[in-house]
Amino acid sequence: MGSKISFIYEELKWPEIREVVKEDRVVLLPTGSIEQHGHHLPVGTDSALVTEVCRRTAERIPDEVLLMPTVTYGYDPHHMDFPGNMSIEGVTFLRYVRDILVGLAHHGFKRMLVVNGHGSNMPYVDAAARQAIIDTGGKVMCAAVSYFHTARFIEKAKKVRESGTGGMSHAGEAEASLYLAMRPELVDMSKAVDFRGAPDIPDNFKKELIPPANRSRIAFAPYFSSTTENGTYGAASLGTKEKGEQLFEAAIEGLIEVIRDMRKYPMRERVDHH
Ligand SMILES: [Zn+2]
């Protein structure tokens, strides 16, 4: 017998929220961006995809999660050379996400997962999750993961991809596929071009959603307009609906695994050894 309370946080009345706290569900907080995605994908791609991944995940395990409204804007000042791009200053974004997590803790929630859909948000959502633990004296478990960095997603991406290294970066094979599987009418594949990094960019500094094992993980975000002409970095033309469906499924399964591990995580009190 499942819970009678819906997983859609914003549709609950406050007495229902008081009740659902007792179920010890994992609260999902999606974070995205309003960011240029080349000539073929909408500027809302990251937010739309992470929202869809989280909603489909929650529908699969409705009694185990609560789904928060998406933090739609993210951190991407390095894309501001392209019209339409919006960026929230990094520390503001960090504090905003931290405030949501601490607010949830205030109401009694114990397990919160930031599900990120935009690469450059990651340092900030990581910091926000860490900070929320400290700011609540260790009373809660807050973690952050990008939906494209779960073990399941990485494994599936390696299987479905036709592109080589660099093909699954920004607006490339993976994102084009996912969007085609979600709302194909908004993807203009006639404008999808492939760009995998100029030949004079050393391998360690080429972009890739799923970095190969032989690459160093280096934090480096130059102005995007200095690395690509049209805003795409990846093999956009290789995007297909079929790959997108497989990647959606992997994203959902990957998140379910993380959520179930979070539910099992033993919450222990901190010990001050002074
Ligand atoms: Zn993206």
pLDDT tens per residue, range 79-98: 999 999 999 999 999 999 99
What pLDDT, on a 0 to 100 scale, did the predictor assign at position 262?
Answer: 98
Task: Quote the ligand 1 centre to 249 CA distance (angstroms).
Answer: 18
Angle at 203 between CA 200 and CA 204, to 5 degrees: 125
Residue type, 182: M
pLDDT above 60 (res 260): yes
Task: Quote the ligand 1 centre to 41 CA distance (angstroms).
Answer: 9
Averaged pLDDT for residues 225-240 = 94
Task: Quote the ligand 1 centre to 118 CA distance (angstroms).
Answer: 6
Averaged pLDDT for residues 38-64 = 98
CA distance 53 to 31: 11
pLDDT above 90 (res 216): no
Averaged pLDDT for residues 12-21 = 98
Task: Quote the ligand 1 centre to 45 CA distance (angstroms).
Answer: 6
What pLDDT, on a 0 to 100 scale, did the predictor assign at position 211?
Answer: 75
Task: Quote the ligand 1 centre to 14 CA distance (angstroms).
Answer: 34
What pLDDT, on a 0 to 100 scale, did the predictor assign at position 206?
Answer: 86
Task: Quote the ligand 1 centre to 77 CA distance (angstroms).
Answer: 14
Cβ of 1: how many Cβ atoms within 10 Å? 4
CA distance 16 to 44: 31
What pLDDT, on a 0 to 100 scale, did the predictor assign at position 268?
Answer: 92
CB 28 within 8 Å of CB 65: yes
Task: Quote the ligand 1 centre to 31 CA distance (angstroms).
Answer: 12
Task: Quote the ligand 1 centre to 174 CA distance (angstroms).
Answer: 9
CA distance 208 to 210: 5
Average pLDDT score, the chain: 95
CB 116 within 8 Å of CB 84: no
What pLDDT, on a 0 to 100 scale, did the predictor assign at position 1?
Answer: 53
Lowest mean pLDDT among 83-97, 111-125, 206-220, 234-248: 206-220
Angle at 85 between CA 82 and CA 89, to 5 degrees: 120
> Is 11-264 assigned to CATH 3.40.190.10?
no
Averaged pLDDT for residues 189-208 = 89
Task: Quote the ligand 1 centre to 11 CA distance (angstroms).
Answer: 28
- Alpha-carbon distances, residue 260 vs 47, 75, 127, 173, 263 (angstroms): 24, 29, 22, 29, 5
pLDDT above 80 (res 2): no
Task: Quote the ligand 1 centre to 100 CA distance (angstroms).
Answer: 23
For the chain, the C-alpha Rg in angstroms (whole number) is 19
Task: Quote the ligand 1 centre to 34 CA distance (angstroms).
Answer: 9
Residue ranges covered by each domain of the chain: 11-264
What pLDDT, on a 0 to 100 scale, did the predictor assign at position 3?
Answer: 83
Task: Quote the ligand 1 centre to 103 CA distance (angstroms).
Answer: 28
Task: Quote the ligand 1 centre to 110 CA distance (angstroms).
Answer: 30
Residue type, 106: H
Task: Quote the ligand 1 centre to 175 CA distance (angstroms).
Answer: 6
What pLDDT, on a 0 to 100 scale, did the predictor assign at position 58?
Answer: 98
116 by DSSP, 3-state: which? Answer: strand
CA distance 162 to 155: 14
pLDDT above 90 (res 135): yes
CA distance 42 to 249: 22
Q: Which residue is associated with the tokens 């479905």?
A: 160
Task: Quote the ligand 1 centre to 83 CA distance (angstroms).
Answer: 16
Residue type, 107: H
Per-residue confidence band for 176, with pLDDT thresholds at 50, 70 and 90? very high
Per-residue confidence band for 258, with pLDDT thresholds at 50, 70 and 90? very high
What is the total residue count of the chain?
274
What pLDDT, on a 0 to 100 scale, did the predictor assign at position 91?
Answer: 97
DSSP state of 69: P
Task: Quote the ligand 1 centre to 260 CA distance (angstroms).
Answer: 26
Share of the chain above pLDDT 90, in %: 87
